[in-house]
Structure 1
C-alpha cells in the first residue's frame, strides 16, 4: 500500500513538473540554422502538408488574412482578444498549448463556441526539433486529449513552437514537422497571408489597430476558411472525450496535490517548529519548578520512605534477569518487596530468579502459564503487600538510588503514578546511539512537557511507580491493548490522578540490537498506543482532568505521533522532488535548517540529562535511516489497526547488554 501510494504521488509530481516545465523542459534551437528545410518548403506557402511523400503548400488568397494566436489560452488577454474579435465580427485560429488549455477549459470552450478555430501548439510549447520522436508524439497526443476533454474536438492544425516563416524551419524542425504531417497535421507557419501573434497585451494593441485600419475589401478569417478547406477542428469521438476528461482530472489532481504538498510542507514545518518551542519552554520550566523543590525529587516538602513492592514480569529473560534482580537488591531504599512473575518462560528465567530468591527473603518468585504481560503484572499486584507498587521490565537495571527518587513525588496525595528516566544501556553500535538519542530527545523532553501540562500518556514499562489504590480503582492492568503501560496511564489520567515525571529515577534498559528486533518492538508499541488512544478517545469530550488529558495529551499524540509520521514519506518524496527538479539550493537550506533545529534540541536534551555530546555525529544519518524506519512502523501499525488485525506479545531477543554503558565506566549516579 505504501509503495502504491508513493508511486502515485511520484507520478503526480512528475506529471506536474512536466506540465509546468520543471521536468523535461526543452530549450529552443539556436538561432543559427546550419541545415535549412528543403527548398520546396522554404519557397512555398505558410500552410504545409505532405501527401504520399510530396510536399504541398498554400498561401492565402489576395485580400485575405488569417489571424493566428500562439500559446495560452491566457486568463487575462485571451478573453480581451475574444471580445475584440467579436466586436469586429472576425474569426481567428488559436494555437493552444495542452497544459494551459487544461488549466483554462472555459476559455477553450469559449473559443470553440464563438466560431474560432483551434490548433495545437504542443502540450508544453516544446521545440519539437530538439525532442525525441517519442516525446514529440506525447506532446501532440496529450494536446489532442485535452482538446477532446475540454471542448469535445480534435484538431489537425499544428504550429511548431519557436518557428515563424517556412524558411526558418531547420532540418531537425522540418523532420519533426514532416512526422506530424505524416500523421495528418496541417503545419501552419507565418507569412503569405497568415499573421502570427502571441496572446499578450502588445499583440492585443496590434490586432486592435489592424482591425480598425482594415479596408473594405480586406477579409480576416481562420486558416482553413481562407484556403477554402474543411475545418481543422472536428468533433472528437466519445472514447477520445472520455480519455480527455481523464487527462484533465489527472492534471487537475496533480496540480492540487503539488499545491497541497507545498502547503503541507509549510504546515508541517510550522508544527515542527511549534513542537520544538513547546518542548524547550516546558523543559526549562520543568527544570526550574522541579529541581529547586525540597529534596529535588519531592513534589512537596519532606521525603517519602514508605515501603514499596516491585513487580518484575519475566518471559524468557535469562540473559538479563540476574542483572535486573541484583540491581533491585542493591537499592538504597531499605523497605522493598520484590515479586518476580515468570510468565511461562521456556528458558532458565525461573531457575535463575528462584536461586536468587532463595538467598534473599525480600524476593518471591511466582510461576504461571503464559498469559501475557498484563496478566503477569496483575498477578504481582495481587501479591503486593505495600501501597506503592513499582513495575519494571525483566531487562531493566536500576541505579541504587532509583527507587528512592522514583517514590518521592508520592508526597503529593494527588499523584497516582510516576514515570522514571529510562536510558539505553547498549550504545556501542550506530543503532544503539540512534535509540539513545531518541530516548533522551524525544521521550524525556516529551515527558517533561506532559508532566507540567498534566497529560502524561505513558508511564514506561521499564520504570514506573503507582499507588496501589489508583491501580485498583481503574481495575488493574487491562488486556485490551498491546501497550498495557499506555492504556493504564491513560486510565489513571481519566480517573483524575496526576502522573508525573521524575528525572533522577534512572534505569537502564537493553535496546534492540538489530533492525528486525527494533521493528518488532516499535510495531508493538505503536500499534498498542493506537489501540489505547482509540479506547480512551472519549476523553476529548469529557470534563475535568479526563478532558484535560484528552484535549492536551491525545491531541498531541494524534498530531505529532500519528498524523505527521503518516504524511512524512510523502513530504520526503516532495523534498526529493524539489531537490532534483526545483530550486536545489532552497531545498538544501530547508533541510539544513531542520537539521540545525534537531541538533539544538539534541544538545539541550543531552545537557538536561547530563549526557555527553559524543553521539550527536550520528544525528544526520538518523534523519535518513532511523527516522524513515519509525515512519514505516507508524504506517504499518495504522493499516493494521484499520484492518482490525490483532497482534501477539512480541518479545525482543535479549542479550544481557542493558548494563553495557555502565560497565564501560559511565557514572551511575546523577
Structure 2
C-alpha cells in the first residue's frame, strides 16, 4: 500500500527532524521569553560618579530671614510700647470676648498651592487634619491690592474636606519679604480698611472659614499699625463669622505678642529658624533655644489661642562659600542627598536636631541640619508638658512621613519605637532643567536606631539605613539647540519618506519605535540606525502605561528593547511613554506613565514642543506652530510622528521647517550633543552574553515579518486561486449546460437508442444486514431491461448473506458471491470478474438508487469514447446539523465540481456509491487497486491516464448514508483524505499532462491538501490581524471570496434543484464545519509519515436512508 513503511524509517527521520525543529523553536522561544522577563541592563548614561550638589536639588522654598536686634533696640522698643499702652488697650478693647479658638488637640497644616509635593501630602493626610492654611493671598505693595494664586484643584479638594480653611495672606514676593512696602501700606488707614473689606468678600466667595496673616520682616515702629490692621480684619471677618489667625516668630520685638493674642483667634508661633539661610550653619530649633523661646512667648499669649508650629524641613549650608545663602530642603531631599553622598545622618544629643556633612563635586564642604520626626517628637513632648495641645506643621510636602504616627487625628498611641522604620517617600522630586529625565534614587525604606530616656524623650540616634524616594534629574541643552523626534513608527510608507527628507537636509533625529511595528518592518529599524539616527523604545503595543500593571509595563519595554538590540546590535537607553511626550510634570501621577522606564534605568525623553501633526493637516500650520513654540522657549525637543496615520503633512512640514529653523539661528542637533555626552553612551554595543537573547528576538522579528508577508501572500494567492476556480468551474458548467441544451433542441438522438447492453450492478458488502435489502429493493425497480445484481459478501459476520439469498430466491437477477474478508477492493474485483455485462455499475451497499439511475448511466456508453460515468450521489439521511452540512458539501463541492470537470475530462473520482464503467477498460487498468484506501479514485485516475473519458450524469441519483456521529465522520474523512494523498503520490507522473495533469490533479493538491493544511494558519493570522486592528485587507479578501462562494453555491443549488434555504446552512458550514477538517488533514499527514497500514475502516450502518426517493424540496430540514 502507498506510504506503507513496515520499518517506520520515514517516521523516525521525521521525528528527528521535528525534534530538531522543535528544539530550535523552544530555544529561540526560551531566549525570547527570557528577554521579555529579564530586563536588559540599561547603561548608566548620565554618570553618577560625582556627588550630587545641593545646588542641583534646589527647592523653591520661602526663606524666612528674620531681622536681629541689638539690646539697645530691644530697650527702646519696650519704652515705646509702655508709653502707648493705654492706646493699645483701647484699640483691642472687647477683642478678648467672642474669640473662636481651635479645639484642643487641633492640628494645623500649611500648604503651598504651587508645590505638587505639598498638595500630594495634603491629599494623603487630609483626614488627620483640623485646619488647613493654603498660601492663596499675597500683599504686593502699598495700596489696596490683593493678589490671589488659588488653584481650582486645591479649592475643589478643600471644599469636600471636613476641615477649617484659612487662606494665608503673606507679604512674600518672588522669595523676598517686602517689609518696607508692607509698612507703607499699614500706615494708611484707607488702604487697611479697603483691603480688609476686599479680603472678607473674597473669603466669602471661597467659602473659607477665616484668614491667616503672615506679614514678616516688619520694622518695630510699624507694630502698632500692624495691630490696627488686625483689628480692621477682625471686625470685618466677625461680620461673617470668620476666624482671624496670625503667624509670629519666636522672640521678635516687631511683634507685640500680648496684643496680637487679644485680637486674634489663634496665634501661630513659628518654632523654627533658630538658624536661617543667611546665618552660620546650625540646628533649625535646638533644645535650649526652643525652651528659652517658649519661656518668652507663653506668658505673653492666651493659652487656648496658642498654636505651636513645627518646622518639618532642613537647610543645606555651603561652609566654604559663606556669601551664599543656605538652601531649604525637604526631608526627602535630605535623605536622597545623604544617600548620594554616602553619609549617615545622626540625631545630635543635647541639640536634638539631625545633622550630616558631605563634599560636593567641587570638593566644597556642606553642612545639613534638618528636623525629622525624632526632633519633632521631642518638641511635641516638651510642649505638651507646658500644656500646649495645638500644633501646626510648616509645611506639608517637606515632612518626615513618620511624623503622622504621633501628630494628627486617628493616630496610634504615642510610642517612639514607631519612628524607627522610615518608609520610602511617596512623592517624586525633580532637579535640573530639561526634557530628558533619569532617576537618581529610587524608593527604599530606611531605619533609625536611637536611645530614649525615662520620659521617652529621644537622647541620640543615627540612621543605620538612609531611606530614599524618587529623585529625578532633568537634563537638557543650552541655547537654540533643537532635537527632532518621531513616534509610533516604523511605517512602511512614511518612515522612508521622512528618512529621505532628513538625509536631504543632513538633520539628525531620534525615532521612538513601537514593538509591533518593529515586528512588521524590521528592515526599517536597520535603515534608521544605518542612517545615523538614534532608535528609542516606545513600548510594544502603545498602551497607556499608567493603566497596565508594572509587570505588563516591563514586558512592553523588554520586548521592544530586545527587538531593537537584535536588529541594530546596539543597546539604547532611550524611552518615551506613549501619550506622554510632555514632561512638564506637576505631581506623582504625571510620572506614572514613565515610572517603570525610570526604574529600569532608561532615559525618558520628553518633548515639550508638540508639532501637533496628529491634528493639524496643513504642512505650513505644523511648521508655524513648531516655530512659535520654540521661539517662546517651550522646549528643545520636538515631537513628530512617522506612524499611526497619514503623515503626508509631516513629511512636507519638515521640508519647510528645517531650513526655516536654521535661518532663525536654531541648530538641529543629535540627542548626544544636546546632552553633551559621548554618542557611545546612547548606543552601547551589546556584550556577548546578551547577544543571543537579542538575536533571538531579531530572528523572531524577521520570521514574523516574513511569515506575515508570506502568509499574507499565500492568503492573497489562495483567495485569487479560489475565486478563479469558482469562476472557471461556474463558467465551464454553464457553457457545457448551454451546449447540451442546444444539442437537445437540435434533435440529437438518444445516445442509447440502439441495443441495450447487459449491465452488471456489483455491490460489495460487509456486515450490511441493516441496509442491503433496501438497496436491492431500489435497484430492482430499475427500468433498464438487461441487468443483473451481484452482491459480494466480504466475509460478513452478520446475516447479510442470508438476506441476499432470500431476495435472490425470489429474483433470479440477484446473485450472491461469497469470499473471505479481504477488503472492499478485493470484493469489487471479485464481482468484476464474475460480472456478465459489458457495463458495470458499482453501488455501495447503503445507497438507495433511483429507478432511472441505471438507464441514465448506461445510455452514455453508446458513445465509444465514454469509459466511465459518475452518478449524482446525495445524502439520504439529513437528520442533524452534521449530516445537513455533508448534504450541502455534496452539492456545492463534489457534484458542482464534477459538472465542470466532466466537460474538461478530469473528474478525479467516480464514486463507489454510484458509478458506471466499461468492464473491459477496468480489467485492462488492473481493476480496483489495493494500493490506496480510495480505490474508486485510484481506478478513475488510472482510467484517465489510459486515455479514457469520464463524464457526469446528474439525473442518475443515488442516496447514501452519511455518518451521523462525529467519530464516524472523522473516520470516513480520514479514509478519503489519506486515500487522496495516496492517489496523488501514486499518479504523480500524470502531473502536467493533459487536462488531468494541468487541472484535475493540481485542483486536488491545492484545494484538498494545501488549503486544508494552511487554513488553520490563515485563521490564526485573521484573528491576530483583528486583534492588531490590521484586518481590512484580510477581511476584504475573505468577503470577496465568500461572495463568490455564495454565488457558486446558489448556482449549484439551482442546478441540483435544492431549496434556497440551504444557503443558510452553507454560511454556518463555512464557519464551523471546515474547522473539523483541520484535524483530519493533520491526522492524514501524520499517517503518511508513520507509514502504517490502514484497512477499509468500514462505517457502521444505521439504515436511516429512506427506501423511496422523495423530491428534493421535501428533504427534512435539520
Same fold (TM over 0.5): yes
- Partner residue, 1:557: 1004
Q: How does 1:180-579 map to 2 (within 5 A)?
A: 180-189=597-606, 195-198=636-639, 201=651, 202-203=653-654, 206-211=657-662, 214=665, 222-223=671-672, 226-227=675-676, 231-290=681-740, 293=743, 300=751, 302-542=753-993, 547-579=994-1026
| Aligned partner of residue 868 in structure 2, secondary structure | strand
| Aligned partner of residue 76 in structure 1, secondary structure | helix
Alpha-carbon deviation of 1:608?
A: 2.1
- Residue 589 of structure 2 corresponds to residue 172 of structure 1: yes
User: Measured at CA, do residues 654 and 169 of structure 1 come closer, stay the same or move farther in structure 2, by a change above 3 Å?
Assistant: farther
- Which has the higher mean CA deviation after the structures are superposed, 549-558 or 314-323? 549-558
Alpha-carbon deviation of 1:579?
A: 4.6
Q: How does 1:653-664 map to 2 (within 5 A)?
A: 653-659=1100-1106, 662=1109
Q: Distance in 1 between matches of 2:432 and 2:1068?
A: 65
Aligned with residue 612 of structure 1, among 1055, 1059, 1074? 1059
Instruction: Kindly indicate whether the alpha-carbon contact (under 8 Å) linking 2:484 and 2:668 is maintained by their aligned counterparts in 1.
Output: no
Q: Distance in 1 between matches of 2:820 and 2:1043?
A: 51
Q: Distance in 2 between matches of 1:529 and 1:157?
A: 57
User: Measured at CA, do residues 177 and 280 of structure 1 come closer, stay the same or move farther in structure 2, by a change above 3 Å?
Assistant: closer
Instruction: Kindly indicate whether the alpha-carbon contact (under 8 Å) linking 2:899 and 2:952 is maintained by their aligned counterparts in 1.
Output: yes
* Per-residue Cα deviation, 1:614-645 (whole angstroms, up to 9, x for no partner): 53432222112222223432343234224434
Alpha-carbon deviation of 1:582?
A: 2.8
Alpha-carbon deviation of 1:211?
A: 4.7
User: Measured at CA, do residues 490 and 169 of structure 1 come closer, stay the same or move farther in structure 2, by a change above 3 Å?
Assistant: farther
| Aligned partner of residue 167 in structure 1, secondary structure | coil
User: Measured at CA, do residues 597 and 219 of structure 1 come closer, stay the same or move farther in structure 2, by a change above 3 Å?
Assistant: closer
User: Measured at CA, do residues 506 and 120 of structure 1 come closer, stay the same or move farther in structure 2, by a change above 3 Å?
Assistant: closer
Alpha-carbon deviation of 1:646?
A: 3.2
- Partner residue, 1:25: none
- Which has the higher mean CA deviation after the structures are superposed, 173-182 or 402-411? 173-182
Instruction: Kindly indicate whether the alpha-carbon contact (under 8 Å) linking 2:784 and 2:854 is maintained by their aligned counterparts in 1.
Output: yes
- Partner residue, 2:323: none
User: Measured at CA, do residues 591 and 303 of structure 1 come closer, stay the same or move farther in structure 2, by a change above 3 Å?
Assistant: farther
| Aligned partner of residue 426 in structure 1, secondary structure | coil
User: Measured at CA, do residues 460 and 234 of structure 1 come closer, stay the same or move farther in structure 2, by a change above 3 Å?
Assistant: same
User: Measured at CA, do residues 138 and 356 of structure 1 come closer, stay the same or move farther in structure 2, by a change above 3 Å?
Assistant: same
- Partner residue, 2:354: none
* Per-residue Cα deviation, 1:175-215 (whole angstroms, up to 9, x for no partner): 34344333223334457997213465545654545456659
| Aligned partner of residue 633 in structure 1, secondary structure | helix
| Aligned partner of residue 764 in structure 2, secondary structure | strand
TM-score (norm 2): 0.51
* Per-residue Cα deviation, 1:212-268 (whole angstroms, up to 9, x for no partner): 6659xx996644774568934322222322222221222232233333333333333
Instruction: Kindly indicate whether the alpha-carbon contact (under 8 Å) linking 2:1057 and 2:1112 is maintained by their aligned counterparts in 1.
Output: no
* Per-residue Cα deviation, 1:395-431 (whole angstroms, up to 9, x for no partner): 1222222211110011011111111111221123222
Q: Distance in 2 between matches of 1:420 and 1:237?
A: 71
- Which has the higher mean CA deviation after the structures are superposed, 425-434 or 463-472? 425-434
User: Measured at CA, do residues 560 and 34 of structure 1 come closer, stay the same or move farther in structure 2, by a change above 3 Å?
Assistant: farther
Instruction: Kindly indicate whether the alpha-carbon contact (under 8 Å) linking 2:911 and 2:936 is maintained by their aligned counterparts in 1.
Output: yes
* Per-residue Cα deviation, 1:260-312 (whole angstroms, up to 9, x for no partner): 33333333332222222222222223333445656999774724511111111
Instruction: Kindly indicate whether the alpha-carbon contact (under 8 Å) linking 1:387 and 1:468 is maintained by their aligned counterparts in 2.
Output: yes
Alpha-carbon deviation of 1:384?
A: 1.4
Instruction: Kindly indicate whether the alpha-carbon contact (under 8 Å) linking 1:64 and 1:220 is maintained by their aligned counterparts in 2.
Output: no
Instruction: Kindly indicate whether the alpha-carbon contact (under 8 Å) linking 2:1058 and 2:1113 is maintained by their aligned counterparts in 1.
Output: no
| Aligned partner of residue 662 in structure 1, secondary structure | coil
Alpha-carbon deviation of 1:317?
A: 0.6
Alpha-carbon deviation of 1:666?
A: 7.5
Alpha-carbon deviation of 1:491?
A: 0.6
Aligned with residue 527 of structure 2, among 96, 107, 110? 107
Instruction: Kindly indicate whether the alpha-carbon contact (under 8 Å) linking 1:194 and 1:223 is maintained by their aligned counterparts in 2.
Output: no
- Which has the higher mean CA deviation after the structures are superposed, 608-617 or 444-453? 608-617
Alpha-carbon deviation of 1:140?
A: 2.3
| Aligned partner of residue 489 in structure 1, secondary structure | helix
Q: Distance in 2 between matches of 1:634 and 1:624?
A: 17
Alpha-carbon deviation of 1:583?
A: 7.0
| Aligned partner of residue 681 in structure 2, secondary structure | coil
- Residue 443 of structure 2 corresponds to residue 50 of structure 1: no
User: Measured at CA, do residues 354 and 666 of structure 1 come closer, stay the same or move farther in structure 2, by a change above 3 Å?
Assistant: farther
Q: Distance in 1 between matches of 2:967 and 2:477?
A: 79
Aligned with residue 555 of structure 2, among 126, 138, 145? 138
- Residue 457 of structure 2 corresponds to residue 41 of structure 1: no
- Which has the higher mean CA deviation after the structures are superposed, 418-427 or 150-159? 150-159
- Residue 156 of structure 2 corresponds to residue 156 of structure 1: no
| Aligned partner of residue 350 in structure 1, secondary structure | helix
User: Measured at CA, do residues 154 and 643 of structure 1 come closer, stay the same or move farther in structure 2, by a change above 3 Å?
Assistant: same
Instruction: Kindly indicate whether the alpha-carbon contact (under 8 Å) linking 1:98 and 1:147 is maintained by their aligned counterparts in 2.
Output: no
User: Measured at CA, do residues 203 and 508 of structure 1 come closer, stay the same or move farther in structure 2, by a change above 3 Å?
Assistant: closer
Of the two, which has the highest radius of gyration? 2
- Which has the higher mean CA deviation after the structures are superposed, 634-643 or 56-65? 56-65
- Partner residue, 1:626: 1073
- Which has the higher mean CA deviation after the structures are superposed, 218-227 or 489-498? 218-227
| Aligned partner of residue 310 in structure 1, secondary structure | strand
Per residue, is there more helix in 1 or in 2?
1
User: Measured at CA, do residues 66 and 517 of structure 1 come closer, stay the same or move farther in structure 2, by a change above 3 Å?
Assistant: same
TM-score (norm 1): 0.83
- Partner residue, 1:69: 485
Instruction: Kindly indicate whether the alpha-carbon contact (under 8 Å) linking 1:297 and 1:409 is maintained by their aligned counterparts in 2.
Output: no
User: Measured at CA, do residues 499 and 78 of structure 1 come closer, stay the same or move farther in structure 2, by a change above 3 Å?
Assistant: closer
Q: Distance in 1 between matches of 2:793 and 2:979?
A: 22
Residue-pair matches, total: 631
User: Measured at CA, do residues 570 and 212 of structure 1 come closer, stay the same or move farther in structure 2, by a change above 3 Å?
Assistant: same
Q: Distance in 1 between matches of 2:1053 and 2:514?
A: 56
Instruction: Kindly indicate whether the alpha-carbon contact (under 8 Å) linking 1:50 and 1:181 is maintained by their aligned counterparts in 2.
Output: no
